[in-house]
Amino acid sequence: MSPLRLLNLAIVPALAELAKSGIADTADARRFVLAIALQESGLAHRRQVLAGGAENGPAASFWQFEAGGACKGVLTHHLAASTMRAACVDFNVEPTQQGLWEAMRYHDIIAAIAARLLIYTLPYKLPITAADGWAQYTAAWRPGKPHPETWANAWALATLTVGAN
């Protein structure tokens, strides 16, 4: 999927849904959510790729959420839980860890909502620099094998894409 397509078909609608709950839709939010998807999956995989190339790892969606990790987090964190559960109901997704995990593999709007809500649980303002973005990304996603060498490109492409929209 192209970054512009993901932005227009999933991120913009997701942030519009969240705006109804008082979570602002801003260019900084769009950029950060897109940069994380670029970093996590390169927009090439909706399921985690394991050693050997099998696309059947424990993480799902372009944002690579695990059922017992980030899915659980957005469904239970006091800042995100009620909004995430309401979004699940609105989109006919079972508001459980497994239900969210299964849905987000192909439901990009629900996945983008979850990604933005995971960011929302951080006690920081949205990042405006690549360095701050990296710090917040690693704080929220806690990648097992972080790749800081690819973050600058993900951030730059997200910045360009959001600016072109």
Give the pTM: 0.96
pLDDT digits (tens, 9 = 90+) for 18-38: 999 999 999 999 999 999 999
How many distinct structural domains can be found in the chain? 1
Fill in the DSSP letter of residue 127. P
In terms of residue numbers, what domain contains 30? 3-164
Say what the pLDDT of residue 140 is.
97
Judge contact between 62 and 111, C-beta under 8 A.
yes
CA dihedral of 107, 112, 117, 119, whole degrees rounded to 10:
140
Return the number of other C-beta atoms located less than 10 Å from residue 62's C-beta: 27
Say what the pLDDT of residue 165 is.
63
pLDDT digits (tens, 9 = 90+) for 45-66: 999 988 888 888 999 999 999 9
Burial class (CB in 10 A: 0-12, 13-18, 19+), 163: exposed
Say what the pLDDT of residue 51 is.
82
Judge contact between 136 and 124, C-beta under 8 A.
yes
Q: Which residues of the chain have pLDDT under 50?
A: none
Q: Which of 103, 122, 23 is nearest to 63 (CA)?
A: 103
Say what the pLDDT of residue 53 is.
83
Encoding tokens for residue 48? 């985690």
Q: For the range 139-146, what are the long-range contacts, defined as Cβ-Cβ under 8 Å and sequence gap of 24 or more?
A: 141/36, 141/40, 141/64, 141/70, 142/69, 143/40
